[in-house]
Every structure is written in structure tokens, then in C-alpha cells.
Structure 1
Amino acid sequence: MLILRNICWLQRRWKSGGKKRWNVLQNKKNNCDRALESFDDFYGSVYGGRWKNMRAALLTRHKYIAMVNNFGDTEQTCSMLETDGAINMKSLINLAQERLQGTDPALKGQGQNRYEIDDKLDALLRKQQEREVASIYPSAGEGGAAVQMPQQLKYDNVEEKEESQTESPDFKQSLTKALEEDVKLDEHRLVDPQFGTGGLYEYMPAHSIKGMEDWVAESEHYKYYQTSADFPLRIEPETSFHFPEHLALYTYEMGNCSDFKAPKKCLTGVSSHFLMDGASTLPPLFLQVQPGERVLDACASPGGKSLLLLQTLHLDQLVCNDIQESRLNRLRRLMQEFLFDYKQRSAARHLIFSQSDARNLDEYEQYDKILVDVPCTTDRHVVMEQDNNIFKPSRIKERLRIPELQAGILTNCLRLLRPGGSLVYSTCSLSPIQNDGVVHMALQKVFVEHGITATIKDLSRHTELFSDVFKFEHPKGLKYGQMVIPYLPANFGPMYFSKITRNV
């Protein structure tokens, strides 16, 4: 007798590789993941142990400052912000000046206490770095011949670097051992910028890109640079800094993450104040626009920096340029919202809109000041937002060409300056390639192709005036500019800026 039984086939999820078969999306990287993975590898090598804190800040909502609109109800707006506990940045700068000059003993003591804490933290970090160095460079007792720790890695080009590594097998063995043990690279092993930007080649370990199909190494950017060429250059301190008398910027003290109230409509019909990342105020501030000057904002949209330049009430003419009509329309809407006489200003030629690739502008030697806030990887945006993310796989080529684009814009803007005029180059990236590297390339290119020389203005003394508001990168890591780094108690930036004056 044949008995038929109902048989039910059940699909079985195999332990090995099951998640990839049944839930592909769980393992798929999104744009933010790609950006963060790239930053972990690249910035982890550049900034060492400090990257962990920067990373946490980048992944946390950033702080804003409030810029009071001089074309609205100015006094009422300032009063409202102060009632909510916000502090006028101008008062913080005045306090910093007193502290630096030593005119207020109490404030000076407070500053010393804070710096003593920083010194202790730096000492702890140095000890940790010494331990890391000891693990990378073993002593004679651990394996025979001693390996001498280099004080600086100095070379002019990649070929010399590869030659030196070939001649030092012990060094290669030590580095391989360190990588196998997942030891962090020590910050002191990076080339000091005073020895040239050839050291930028060390920032991305070659082993990191093996086996990664969609990985694009930051080191690919190096092909745009020829750092061996010489060009005349002066670096000198900026002589003075004056905060614009009519500009009112409000912030909350370090550690205070309170939100500002939304802007209100004033009697004139414009908005009361504008909210922007506080670090974005520094490039236009250090441009030091004076009354009667003709100014260009080469990459103006979305318009916060252009608006700040107008709020100084110094400009004779501001030309706002951008490459796309949609971006210019966004800029026009912003100006219409904050300038009650927007139409009259445009007609009077105080405010001009220009649509062009900044590399193609040809009003040579016609501008007193230029703001060059170039397109960049926008580090904070790409780790937080999927939309318009430069780390999207289809935008790989675009991302690789960013330094070339930036250097092209900066080179042309140096030609647009009148002799004796100044510009400020800025990015919202932590990348030394897009920052000091691009400045180096542009200065070299404009000299070789057009015979133009320039002077770098060292702003480090004046950034101390903002030390109660922002966290700045240690000067030893920068050659041509200054940089606000993400820092949880003062979560602004990143923002790199370099002031350059065209020689007469």
C-alpha cells in the first residue's frame, strides 16, 4: 500500500553568508558610509589621535551664530538675542585683546588655567605618542640592531622616498609590524610643512586601497601637484585686524549648545537675523573690506559670506559670481529676504550678479578684494547627508578633480586682483590637499605662467582673538593658512582660510 504524505519544503537560511543573500541592503554602503570610511583612513593618518574627537564633532549637529541684519530692526534684534543669553562676538574679542595684552589680571589668570589644562592634555598625548613610536621603532634589546627614529622625514619627490624605503629594510619591517598590529600612525612622523608640501604624499598609506573596488584614495589627488618647482614667496604677519563697527554677530559660549530663535519679520519687511556656521564668518572678516573697495565673491552661493560683506556697510560694489543659474537664484532670494532696498541696490550697481565659471572670469587687475570660497568635499555635509554627496559612486571622477578645480579658481582670482590687493581662499574641508596643497599649487602656477608673486599673510596672531569662540588647528600643521577644527564644546567648522596679497 503506497502512502503519500504532504511534504513541505522550507527554505533554510544558511549561517555562512546568509545575511548577504537575504538582506543585501544591510551590507550595502551608503554615501555617508563611504565618506566616513575615507576620512577615517585619511584624516586618521593626518591628525592621529585627535581625529577621534574631530570625528565625533563632525557627526554631531553643528553650532550656529546669528548675524543681525542692519537693514531691519537692529536694536530690537540685538536685545532679543542678548535676553536669550547670546553673547556679542565683538565683546569676546575685546576681552581676548585685554587678556593678550595682560591688562586684566583676572582674565589673564583664567586664560592661564585653561592653557595649563591644555598643556597637561598635550603632555598625556605626547606620552601616548612616544609609546606608539616605541612600538613602531623597536629598541636594540628587542631584536638585535637598533632602529633609529627619524626626527623628520624629508624628501623632494616620490622617487627619493621610495629609494630611501628600499635602502632601509628594518624600517619596512617595523612599519609592516605596526600595520599588522593596527597601531595608529604617530603625528610626529608626518613631514613638517616647513619642509615643503612633498610631505603630503605620506598622508595616505598605500595599503589602504587594496581590494576596495569602489574606494578612491585621497592620494590620487597628488598627481595634480609638482611640488619640486620653486617660486618666490614671502610669509609675513598681518599687521592689524579691525572688527567692523556696524557688524553684530552673536554666539553662545563654549559648551552651550542652545538654539537661536527663528528670524522674525522686521518693520521694513526683511528678516531680523541670519543663522550660519560661525566659522564661515572668518574668511570675510579677515578679508578686511574697506569703504570704497570693489569686491568679488567668486563662488558666492548660498550667500552667507556675501551677506556678511554687505552687513559691514563698507562696500562700494560687490560682485557675486557663481557657475549655475539655480545657485544664483538662491542667492537672489537670500538678498531679497535681507535687503529691504534690494532692487534699488542692484540698479545702483552696488550689488551685481554674475554667472560664470570662476576660472573664466577675465576682469584682470580690477578687484581690491576677492573672497575665494571654493567648492570642496564639504566634510560635515558628506558624513551627515545622503543628498548631493560628493562620495556618491557616480561622482568619483568629479571628486578626484576637486583639487585641480580649486587650484584653477585660485590661480585665476590672483590674476583678477589689483597689485596690492588681497584675497582669502577658504574651504570647509580638513584635507591638507585641498587646503595648503591647493594654495601651494596655485602660487606656483600663477608665477610660472603669469609671473605673479604673492605674500602670505600670517593670521595666527589675530585668530587668538577668537580663541573663546573657536577651536583652531595647531599652527605647526599648517604652512599657508589657519583652520577651525570641529570640537564638541565649540562645534563649528571645519573651515580653512588663507589670506594672500598680490605683490605690486
Structure 2
Amino acid sequence: MNVLLKKTMPLPRAELILIQIHKRLKRTKTPKVLNTQRALEYFDIAYPPIYGSRWPSIRLALLSKPKYISVVNNFTDYKGTIQKLEDLGAMDIRPRYNVGVEQLKLRIQNLKNKTLPDCESESQTIENNLPEAVRPSLIELDDDELAARAAKKEMERYPEEYRQRVQAHGSSLDVLDVDFSNRIIKSSLVGAEAGLLMDYVPPTKLKGLENWVEETDVFLNTSQEDSDIGMKKEIQEEPLELPEMLRIYYFLKGDISDFPHPRSDNVMGVLDQYILDGASLLPVLALDIKQDDKVLDLCAAPGGKSLIAMQTWLPKLIVCNDVRLGRLKRLHEVMWQYVPKSLTNIRDRVVVTMENGCEYPEKDAYDKVLVDVPCLTDRHSLEESDNNIFAVARVKDRLKLPEIQGQLLVSALQAVRPGGCVVYSTCTLSPLQNDGAVHLALSKIWQETTIEYSIVDLTYAIQPLKFLYRFGNNLGLRYGQIVLPSLANNFGPMYICKIKRLR
């Protein structure tokens, strides 16, 4: 009886306090590490050697509020939607894009004639004749372009002193200039940063993450010569075409206004606009969709890029494929929330399939193939802990990404017909999953198939979009182009590579 009483007696207050203190100390000793923190730690080690002095601004942008564009739904009262957007201060990208197209044509013509200064003065004349509403301003300039203007002013004030100072640091006097005649930059031209990109793997093991098995530990060094993988190159001088039916709205650089949530149209019963990361427009424009093209979106969910392609009214067929049932459900919702049931002629153009993209069954069947592969999804990895690729339980998934990406691109090149083109895209800054995965796929194509291809250099073609995106110039990219996040226009990241199948 005394034993039972002893066991049920309450503990003294002092002992209760000690137990509580012990529990609190125990909690503070082993704080839970969030997946977003793991992602940031990884990026802080892996990306500075690649992006150098640009990384702090990229990092800040990735951790800040993202920016979006609005794709107006053509299957509603689009004029009313446009009026609402313009009342909010949103701008149609077309007038500013057309200015960029004219400037590009002048630049190309004058580069051929070797009269670049005249090109610059004529470009300024074009800008001066524009309506004030669409005239480029300093706030619309790319971050690198602002830096170039500042350098030019400094040069004008102290020409000799500034020239000596710049040359002493081994930098170019024109930080924005791109060598259009030879964009496939050699590492010797741009220093150690490009050397890392050319090899795709850092020269040393990532410090501070010794407990992780990293992509860099399993990915092959792919610094082969172009001839070793049968690669040909061609330059697309014509600017990317902005299809007439696309109505895209954005807020000017520095304007962090939000678009209103999509609303249902009372007449047609579909949503009036689709809001997405502005960089997602770039892969669709790079496809250069023509009238009656057959288009395959190999990894289509959640469906934003397929929806943009459909809004052009150009494809005869859009096949939206994904491998997971849950993702396909979301894809169905997106597509049919924007196309009225009554428009059967439009709905019949869209086919949703569930196939393994790495082994897509149709061969030589499509005019254009978009392969927007699963990747590190940098921005998502820093924002959401749920389903985060940096979760401990998903280490193997992350390690398999380059291999899966390469196989998806191989499958895409097999699915496109000779004469058609493939656009490979990611939303990561990782060179392993960008140029690295492309190289892996091209090596496999060369070794295991009879397919012939060429890399399409889009350096010229994307120039009219400089008002919208911060492109990663002089990073030594071998195959593609990349949009870098920036506070002024916080889109991306987005990497694209365009490949034309020759045979």
C-alpha cells in the first residue's frame, strides 16, 4: 500500500522545473533542419563558383517575392480582361518587343556592314520616336545594361585612368558586349567561371555537405570536343516570333504589383487569364510554332506552357504528356478551365496522355517537342518544404535527375521529325542539369542512334526580350541560354536549349 502511494505522489515543484528545463534544452540542441534550409546551404556552396559576383543578387531575388506575367485567355471577353489589366498599370509586351526586333535588325545589318556606331544611333532614333508609354526607360534596363552604362559614364569622365584600372583587373571595358560571331565561348575568354561550366563539375568536393552524396560525385566530366559528339551549330538570326494571338501583360521593372486572381467569365464559363512565372514564356517562343504544327509537351504538368501554345491558335495538335496520375489531374483542370466546352474544335486539338517520357512510344511524329524536365526547381526548393527535392528521403531522386533529364531529351529527339526542333528547359541554375544534361543526351544520341542534329544558337533571337529578362551573358554556356532572377524583374531561373533535328 505504501509503495502504491509513493508512486502516485506528485513530484516536488523543483523537480518539475528541472524536467521542463531539460526538455527545452534538449529541443534547442537538435533543431529541425528545414528542407528549404538544406536547399539554400547547397546553393550557397555550389553556385558562387559558377556565378561569381552575380550570385548575391541572384540569391536575394530567389529569396524574394517572385514576379509573374498574365496570359489573357482568348476564349473569353479578352477585351474586357485587357482593359482591367491596363487599368492596374500592366503593359502589353508586344510594343516593347517590336522595338527590340527593330533594334536587333539594325544591329545585325550594321554588324554585317561593320558600322556598329550607326546602329546605336539609329536605335536611339527608334526609341525617341516611340510613344512615351512604351519608350524604354532606365528602370526597364537589364541589371547588366545599367552596369554597362555606369561604366561608360565613368569612362567618359576619366578615360585614361578608368581604362588602366579596368585593364589592371583583367575586365572588359564593355561588360555587356556579346561576341555574336562566336557565342560558344571558350573558357580562356571568360576566366575560371566559364571553365567550371565547361567541365560541369566543380574541381573540388563541396565543403560543408560531406554527409550528402552529391550530383558532383556521380556525374561524368563531359568536357569533350564538339566533334566527339557529332555536334553542328547554326545561328538563328531572326528574332523569336511573338504569335499574333498571344496577349501577354507584365508590370514594368521595379513594379511589384500583383495580378488579380483569375475570374470566371459569366458568358463562356472559363477563367479570364492565366498567371505564371514570366520566364515560362521563353521556351514556348523558342519552339517557333507554325500554323498546323503537331506539338508534343513531353513533361506537360501543370500545363502552363501547353496553355500558352494553345493560346497561339497555331497548332493542329497539342499532345500533353506526363507520367503521374496526380499531375495529369492538375493538367486536365488547367486545360479545361480555359477552353469552353462549346469549342469542340479547339478541345479536339488537345490530347492528354500518360506515358513514360523517357521511353515515349511515338517516333518521328511531331514538328515541335518541348521537354521541360523535372529539376532542382531552385525557387520552389527555397520556398516550400513539402515535396522538396532536398528532403533527406529524396536524395536518390535528386541524384537520378541528370540521368532522367538526359534520357528525356533523347526521347524528345526521337519523337520529333527530321526538320523539326526540340526545346529543352529547366528552372534551375545548376550547370549539371542544364548544359551538362544536354551534353549527356547528345553523347548518347551520337553513340546509340543515327540521328543527326544541330544546336540552334539563340543569342540573336532572344535579344528583343532583354527588356523583360536578365540573361546570363558571358557565363560560358555551351549549348543554351539562361534567365537569371533579379529584383527588378524577378523571373526565373529558366534555362533553354534549342536543338534542330537534321536527319
TM range (shorter): 0.7 to 0.9
Residues 325 and 12 of structure 1: CA distance in aligned 2, closer, same or farther (over 3 Å): closer
1:50 aligns to 2:50 (yes or no): no
Q: Does structure 1 conserve the Cα–Cα contact (< 8 Å) formed by 2:468 and 2:489?
A: yes
Aligned match of 2:39: 35
- Code of the aligned partner of 1:188: G
Residues 204 and 79 of structure 1: CA distance in aligned 2, closer, same or farther (over 3 Å): farther
Aligned match of 1:142: none
**Distance in 2 of aligned mates of 1:379 and 1:305:** 19
Q: Does structure 1 conserve the Cα–Cα contact (< 8 Å) formed by 2:200 and 2:221?
A: no
1:77 aligns to 2:81 (yes or no): yes
Q: Does structure 2 conserve the Cα–Cα contact (< 8 Å) formed by 1:368 and 1:421?
A: yes
Q: Does structure 1 conserve the Cα–Cα contact (< 8 Å) formed by 2:418 and 2:502?
A: yes
Q: Does structure 1 conserve the Cα–Cα contact (< 8 Å) formed by 2:482 and 2:495?
A: yes
Q: Does structure 2 conserve the Cα–Cα contact (< 8 Å) formed by 1:42 and 1:218?
A: no
- Code of the aligned partner of 1:306: S
SS in 1 for 2:200: helix
SS in 2 for 1:501: strand
**Shift of residue 463 of structure 1?**
1.6
Q: Does structure 2 conserve the Cα–Cα contact (< 8 Å) formed by 1:41 and 1:204?
A: no
Aligned match of 1:337: 337
Aligned match of 1:297: 297
Aligned match of 1:159: none
Residues 270 and 21 of structure 1: CA distance in aligned 2, closer, same or farther (over 3 Å): same
**Distance in 2 of aligned mates of 1:192 and 1:112:** 35
SS in 2 for 1:432: coil
What per-residue deviation string (whole Å, max 9, x for no partner) do you get for residues 428-450 of structure 1? 00001100111111111111100
Aligned match of 2:109: none
Residues 106 and 293 of structure 1: CA distance in aligned 2, closer, same or farther (over 3 Å): closer
**Distance in 2 of aligned mates of 1:344 and 1:207:** 54
**Shift of residue 295 of structure 1?**
0.7
Aligned match of 1:405: 404
User: RMSD of the alignment, in Å?
Assistant: 3.3
Identity of aligned residues (%): 35
Aligned match of 2:500: 501
Aligned match of 1:107: 127
- Code of the aligned partner of 2:219: Y
Q: Does structure 1 conserve the Cα–Cα contact (< 8 Å) formed by 2:322 and 2:353?
A: yes
Aligned match of 1:169: none
Residues 334 and 42 of structure 1: CA distance in aligned 2, closer, same or farther (over 3 Å): same
What per-residue deviation string (whole Å, max 9, x for no partner) do you get for residues 25-82 of structure 1? 53x3210111000000000111112111100000011000000001111111111111
SS in 1 for 2:409: helix
Q: How many residues align?
A: 439
**Shift of residue 365 of structure 1?**
0.4
Correspondent of 2:214 among 217, 231, 234: 217
Residues 12 and 105 of structure 1: CA distance in aligned 2, closer, same or farther (over 3 Å): same
**Shift of residue 191 of structure 1?**
4.3
SS in 1 for 2:305: helix
**Distance in 2 of aligned mates of 1:21 and 1:132:** 53
Residues 70 and 207 of structure 1: CA distance in aligned 2, closer, same or farther (over 3 Å): closer
- Code of the aligned partner of 1:351: V
Structure 2 unaligned blocks of 5 or more: 1-11, 107-121, 130-134, 155-162, 172-185
SS in 2 for 1:425: strand
SS in 1 for 2:419: strand
Q: Scaled by the length of structure 2, what TM-score is found?
A: 0.80
Aligned match of 1:450: 449
Residues 99 and 296 of structure 1: CA distance in aligned 2, closer, same or farther (over 3 Å): same
- Code of the aligned partner of 1:76: G
Aligned match of 2:148: 119
**Distance in 2 of aligned mates of 1:44 and 1:283:** 26
**Shift of residue 188 of structure 1?**
2.6
SS in 2 for 1:70: coil
**Distance in 2 of aligned mates of 1:296 and 1:216:** 34
Aligned match of 1:280: 280
Q: Does structure 2 conserve the Cα–Cα contact (< 8 Å) formed by 1:98 and 1:104?
A: no
**Distance in 2 of aligned mates of 1:96 and 1:117:** 17
Residues 69 and 117 of structure 1: CA distance in aligned 2, closer, same or farther (over 3 Å): closer
Aligned match of 1:90: 94
Residues 272 and 153 of structure 1: CA distance in aligned 2, closer, same or farther (over 3 Å): closer
Equivalence map 1:49-68=2 (5 Å):
49-68=53-72
Aligned match of 2:8: none
Q: Does structure 1 conserve the Cα–Cα contact (< 8 Å) formed by 2:194 and 2:477?
A: no
Aligned match of 1:175: none
**Distance in 1 of aligned mates of 2:95 and 2:13:** 82
What per-residue deviation string (whole Å, max 9, x for no partner) do you get for residues 82-121 of structure 1? 1211111111101223444335427379979867742266
